[in-house]
């Protein structure tokens, strides 16, 4: 391969300038001509039948243009289970479920009118605990589940409220435990947290009666999924619906799927063609968008005296909240690798996605891996302790290496795990004495390893235009949510067309003109869209070279390509810039278009009885993070002193961006480890829906960060790249948990590691000792 000119370089972000000058227009900023203002009425009840809705007063309020309820929008949607109404139909299933909406001439009017809508409810039993909600005798939150349209792979559980039951069966765990010398069994808990992207949620919609076209402006990170779901729900042809993506102020998984969009669409059909904007404020964003799955994880591990893992059995209850959204796939893809990146002959996993009367859980950076790792990686340390083994040694003995067959039956390649473990632990001086702490304060170290699959199989397609000035425009459906995809994809196009990065421009995301992309999720974009843009760029280059042949009076095989020019191999001074070739071929307004797409061809689908697949993921990401913490024994307060994070990215297309992703991920992980928790009482009410009460990490709470990029190339990836966005926070809580145990000798099984949880664990140990 010729030397790389753009890929692998620590290039500064291509989208930063508009962001630092305030010129960038986000979804929440968008003001459309003649726009109406929407306001939503949310359910105050966690589970209730709707007996009556009266909208008369709201409709009569001066300045109100439309009031809508389920009667006006009798549609449902959902990614794998079509269970979610645009507006509540007949019953509500969580506090914060949209029930009705108003469009008015201004915000104040909309707000006043929405308060005039009267709804009468009849209470139903409220379930706020996923383990309780699937006990025999519980009322079904979705009594019509059997009638919903759903994906083929959904396996409804036998127990009440189980939307998906995932099974993994390898070997025979009973035999494995019999052959084990030591068995450890515990229950772990991970609470609900929220993405809390800095930009709250909003959507704009406009329906033009004459053309029958519906346009939706929304910062959604999977516009083609949204297009498909809206199309399917409304029964409208795809060509009649258009999604336009303004810039997105963070997402972390919260901005896929439909939340505000259906409300805006429902209103848009009743505004005589005027566009309507529906914004959720921060509190509404907390209660009515998406959350991360709470999880109860029972884990049992058997091991030989020499540290060889023999068996692992896990039962995981994933709290889905009121609607299925991504729960079936989080349950599958989070439960599958939950036993950890190790060779284990006997494995049994049961994952249950359980409906509750809480806000809807959806995709969240890490997609189920943090929950499994919180249990599995702490249990690895427990086993090591029982055996008197070093935590590194036990992992080294069992961890996946190149060529291993995983417990789900897939041969693994490009496994950079060992290097991440060595580098992350070295970076915090593992095994060396820690500095002495103040009296009453204990210092400890810990680490955790993860392996993360990506959503498979999926497709990304891209177009690359080269104009007569030699400027390049990339048409890609990957959404710039802050992760830096516009920079990465520009680098790929610049690399293949050998043009300076300044000459590459990313087209705005508009489903009318941009080729299909599955989603900006699952750390899939660099690999899938990277491959698609690379292929499209090569396709454009080939067309330019072909066109240049007659111009240079040469055959294509006698032409070379470098520095944005086509030249004669034996007379390199005879060269034509690519823009010149386009101009001569197609005129000054001409454009050469290259197209490319990439689909990861999955092997056999996951077997529904065993969970086995010979190819469950296009690639796997590996990481180890290591923490040094101090714990105040008096108060239970945990402070992270330093944190290393070594991530196998395959190939760093932009090392600067890799470091940025790792740092951001780790800090998000620290928040989820130490203090983040969406507190929901037993009536289903969120008690802390504000940044005052929901504690995000601030600039004062972050420790010394040591990001480490490991490159174990993935042969199918563009230039060897894998993905990186999600794993950044996945091992973090388990690494900190292990460090806390190292410091104070007690284990805390429930996240977050807030002072009271740690305090009571220390107290209990002292009591037991006495």
Partner 1 sequence: MKMNIQFSLNGKSISRDVPTHRLLLDLLRDEIGVTGTKEGCGTGDCGACTVFLNGKPVNSCLVLSGELDGAEIVTIEGLKIGPELHPIQKTFLQDGGAQCGYCTPGMLMMSKALLDENPNPSEEEIRFALAGNLCRCTGYAKIVQAVQDAAALLRNR
Tell me the C-alpha distance between 97 and 355, whole Å.
14
**CB of 28 or CB of 619, closer to partner 1:** 28
What is the DSSP code (8-state) at residue 503? Answer: G
Which residue lies nearer to partner 1 by CB, 202 or 741? 202
Cβ closest to partner 1, residue 477 vs residue 725:
725
Residue-wise DSSP of 54-76:
E-HHHHHSTTEEEEE-TTT---E
Cβ pair 635, 755 in contact under 8 A: yes
Q: Which of residues 306-345 bind partner 1 (CB under 8 A)?
A: none
Beta strands in 673-722 (DSSP E): 704-710
Task: By CB under 8 A, name the one of 78, 96, 176, 200 that touches partner 1.
Answer: 200
Question: 477 or 482: whose CB is closer to partner 1?
Answer: 482
Segment 684 to 713, residues that bind partner 1, using CB under 8 A: 690-692, 696-700, 702, 705
Binding range to partner 1, per CB under 8 A, among 193-201, 327-335, 512-520, 675-683: 193-201
- Please report how close the Cβ of residue 659 comes to partner 1 at its closest, in angstroms: 8
CA distance 202 to 32: 13
Q: What's the CA gap between 768 and 738, in Å, rounded? A: 21
Backbone angles phi, psi at 606, to 5 degrees: -55, 130
Measure the CA angle with vertex 273, ends 267 and 274; round to 5°: 75
When asked if residue 111 is in the footprint of partner 1 (CB under 8 A), the reply is no
Q: Is 608 in the site for partner 1 (CB under 8 A)?
A: no
Q: 3-state class of 207 per DSSP?
A: strand
Among residues 160, 257, 366, 484, the one that binds partner 1 under rule CB under 8 A: 484
Rule CB under 8 A: say whether 32 interacts with partner 1: no
Residue among 230 and 260 whose Cβ is closer to partner 1: 260
CA distances to 118, 332, 449 from 384, in Å: 60, 28, 14
How many CB atoms neighbour CB 343 within 10 A? 15
- Contact characters 710-749, partner 1, x per CB under 8 A: ----------------------------------------
Which listed residue (7, 247, 295, 514) binds partner 1 by CB under 8 A? 247
Separation of alpha carbons 286 and 688, rounded Å:
9
272: alpha, beta or left? (left if phi > 0; alpha if psi -120 to 50):
left
Q: Which of 18, 107, 116, 142 is nearest to 60 (CA)?
A: 116
Spatial separation of the C-alpha atoms in residues 528 and 510, rounded to whole Å: 19
Among 80, 180, 245, 248, binds partner 1 (CB under 8 A): 248
Based on the shown chain and the rule CB under 8 A, indicate whether residue 24 belongs to the binding site for partner 1. yes
Among 176, 249, 391, 416, indicate the residue that binds partner 1 (CB under 8 A): 249
DSSP state of 727: G
Interactions with partner 1, residue window 127-186 (CB under 8 A)? none
Candidates 236-244, 249-257, 344-352, 561-569 — which segment interacts with partner 1 by CB under 8 A? 249-257
Whose Cβ is closer to partner 1: residue 443's or residue 666's?
666
Q: How many whole angstroms separate alpha carbon 365 and alpha carbon 252?
A: 5
CA gap 361, 733 in Å, rounded: 20
Q: What is the contact mask toward partner 1 in residues 646 to 685, using x (rule: CB under 8 A)?
A: ----------xx--x--xxxxxx-----------------
By CB under 8 A, the count of residues binding partner 1 is: 56
- Residues constituting the chain: 770
606's CB contacts (< 8 A; 6+ apart) are 153, 332, 336, 408, 612, 613, 616
Which of 466/643 has CB closer to partner 1?
643
By CB under 8 A, residue 19 contacts partner 1: yes
**Under 8 Å between Cβ of 517 and 245:** no
Where does this chain touch partner 1 (CB under 8 A) — which range of 229-237, 247-255, 372-380, 548-556?
247-255
12 part of the interface to partner 1, by CB under 8 A: yes
Which residue in 748, 250, 752, 751 sits closest to 763, CA to CA?
Answer: 748
Work out whether 105 is an interface residue with partner 1 (CB under 8 A): no
From candidates 8, 13, 94, 407, binder to partner 1 by CB under 8 A: 13
Q: Which residues bind partner 1 (CB under 8 A)?
A: 12-13, 15-26, 28-29, 31, 107-108, 195-200, 247-252, 281-282, 481-484, 656-657, 660, 663-668, 690-692, 696-700, 702, 705
């Amino acid at each position: 391969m010729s030397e790389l000119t753009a890929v692998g370089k620590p290039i500064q972000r291509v989208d930063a300038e508009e962001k630092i000058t305030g010129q960038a227009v986000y979804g929440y900023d968008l003001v459309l001509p003649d726009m109406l203002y929407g306001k939503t009425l949310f359910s105050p009840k966690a589970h209730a039948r709707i007996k009556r809705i009266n909208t008369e007063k709201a409709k009569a309020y001066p300045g109100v243009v439309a009031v809508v309820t389920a009667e006006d929008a009798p549609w449902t949607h959902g990614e794998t289970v079509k269970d979610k109404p645009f507006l509540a139909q007949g019953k509500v299933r969580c506090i914060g479920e949209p029930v009705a909406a108003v469009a008015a001439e201004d915000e104040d009017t909309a707000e006043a009118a929405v308060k005039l809508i009267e709804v009468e409810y009849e209470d139903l039993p409220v379930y706020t605990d996923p383990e309780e909600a699937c006990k025999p005798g519980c009322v079904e939150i979705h009594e019509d589940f059997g009638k919903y349209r759903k994906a083929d792979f959904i396996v409804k559980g036998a127990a009440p409220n189980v939307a998906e039951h995932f099974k993994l069966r390898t070997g025979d765990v009973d035999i494995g435990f019999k052959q084990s010398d030591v068995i450890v069994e515990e229950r772990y808990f991970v609470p609900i947290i929220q993405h809390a992207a800095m930009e709250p949620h909003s959507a704009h919609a406009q329906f033009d009666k004459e053309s029958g076209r519906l346009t939706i402006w929304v910062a959604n990170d999977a516009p083609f999924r949204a297009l498909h779901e809206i199309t399917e729900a409304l029964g409208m042809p795809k060509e009649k619906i258009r999604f336009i993506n303004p810039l997105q102020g963070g997402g972390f998984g919260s901005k896929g799927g439909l939340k505000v969009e259906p409300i805006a669409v429902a209103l848009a059909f009743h505004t005589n063609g005027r566009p309507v904007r529906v914004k959720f404020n921060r509190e509404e964003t907390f209660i009515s968008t998406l959350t991360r799955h709470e999880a109860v994880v029972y884990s049992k591990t058997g091991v030989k005296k020499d540290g060889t893992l023999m068996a692992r059995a896990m039962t995981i209850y994933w709290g889905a909240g009121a609607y299925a959204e991504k729960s079936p796939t989080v349950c599958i893809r989070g439960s599958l690798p939950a036993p950890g990146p190790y060779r284990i002959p006997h494995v049994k996993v049961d994952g249950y996605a359980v409906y509750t009367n809480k806000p809807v859980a959806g995709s969240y950076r890490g997609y189920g891996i943090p929950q499994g790792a919180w249990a599995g990686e702490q249990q690895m340390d427990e086993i090591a302790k029982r055996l008197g083994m070093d935590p590194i040694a036990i992992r080294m003995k069992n961890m996946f290496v190149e060529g291993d067959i995983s417990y789900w039956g897939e041969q693994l390649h490009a496994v950079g795990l060992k290097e991440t473990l060595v580098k992350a632990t070295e970076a915090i001086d593992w095994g060396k004495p820690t500095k002495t702490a103040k009296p009453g304060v204990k210092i400890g170290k810990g680490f955790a390893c993860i392996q993360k699959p990506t959503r498979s199989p999926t497709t990304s397609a891209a177009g690359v235009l080269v104009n007569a000035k030699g400027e390049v425009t990339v048409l890609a459906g990957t959404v710039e949510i802050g992760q830096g995809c516009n920079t990465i994809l520009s680098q790929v196009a610049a690399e293949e067309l050998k043009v300076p990065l300044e000459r590459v421009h990313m087209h705005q995301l508009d489903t009318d003109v941009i080729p299909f992309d599955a989603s900006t999720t699952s750390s899939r974009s660099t690999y899938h869209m990277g491959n698609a843009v690379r292929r499209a760029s090569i396709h454009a280059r080939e067309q330019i070279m072909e066109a240049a042949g007659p111009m240079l009076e040469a055959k294509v095989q006698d032409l070379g390509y470098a520095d944005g020019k086509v030249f004669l191999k034996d007379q390199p001074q005879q060269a034509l810039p690519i823009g010149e070739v386009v101009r001569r071929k197609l005129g000054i307004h001409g454009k050469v278009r290259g197209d490319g797409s990439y689909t990861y061809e999955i092997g056999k689908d996951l077997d529904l009885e065993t969970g086995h697949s010979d190819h469950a993921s296009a690639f796997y990401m590996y990481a180890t993070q290591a923490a040094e913490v101090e714990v105040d024994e008096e108060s239970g307060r945990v402070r992270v002193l330093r944190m290393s994070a070594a991530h196998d990215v395959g190939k760093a297309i932009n090392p600067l961006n890799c470091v940025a992703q790792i740092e951001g991920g780790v800090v998000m992980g620290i928040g989820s480890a130490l203090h983040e928790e969406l507190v929901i009482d037993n009536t289903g009410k969120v008690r802390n829906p504000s940044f005052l009460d929901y504690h995000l990490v601030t600039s004062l709470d972050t420790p010394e960060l040591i990001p480490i990029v490991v490159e174990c190339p993935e042969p199918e990836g563009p230039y060897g790249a894998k993905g990186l966005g999600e794993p950044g926070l996945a091992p973090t809580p388990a690494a900190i948990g292990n460090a806390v145990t190292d410091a104070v000798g007690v284990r805390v099984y429930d996240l977050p590691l807030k002072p009271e949880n740690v305090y009571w664990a220390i107290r209990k140990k002292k009591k037991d000792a006495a």
